[in-house]
């Protein structure tokens, strides 16, 4: 009887581990999706849904990035 309880407990533990892994995979997929969208925005694509403030922030990020590239290029 005690062994049956241990087996059930082990199975429940495995199910919990699988659920935790599924949650991590979903979170990673969501993060990847967001990173892909950010990358597209940085390339000037899929901008239609962005607000004026978001577009301003994107422009600032791109300007700062461009300055960094120019500075690096000037070091050569």
Which one is predicted more confidently, 41 or 3?
Answer: 41
C-alpha span between 67 and 73 (Å, rounded): 10
Each residue's pLDDT tens digit, 9-68? 878 888 999 999 999 999 999 999 999 999 999 999 999 999 999 999 999 999 999 999
**How far apart (Å, rounded) are the C-alpha atoms in residues 36 and 30?**
10
pLDDT of 1 > 60? The answer is: no
Which residues 6+ apart lie within 8 Å of 37 measured at CB? 46
Print burial letters for 34-62: b (CB count within 10 Å at least 16), e (below 16).
eeeeeeebeeeeeeeeeeeeeeeebeeee
């Amino acid at each position: 009887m005690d062994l049956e309880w241990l087996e059930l407990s082990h199975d429940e533990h495995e199910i919990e581990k699988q659920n935790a892994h599924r949650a991590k995979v979903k979170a990673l997929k969501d993060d990847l999706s967001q990173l892909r969208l950010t990358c597209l925005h940085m390339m000037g694509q899929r901008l239609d849904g962005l607000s004026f403030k978001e577009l301003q922030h994107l422009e600032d990020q791109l300007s700062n990035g461009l300055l960094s590239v120019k500075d690096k290029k000037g070091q050569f």
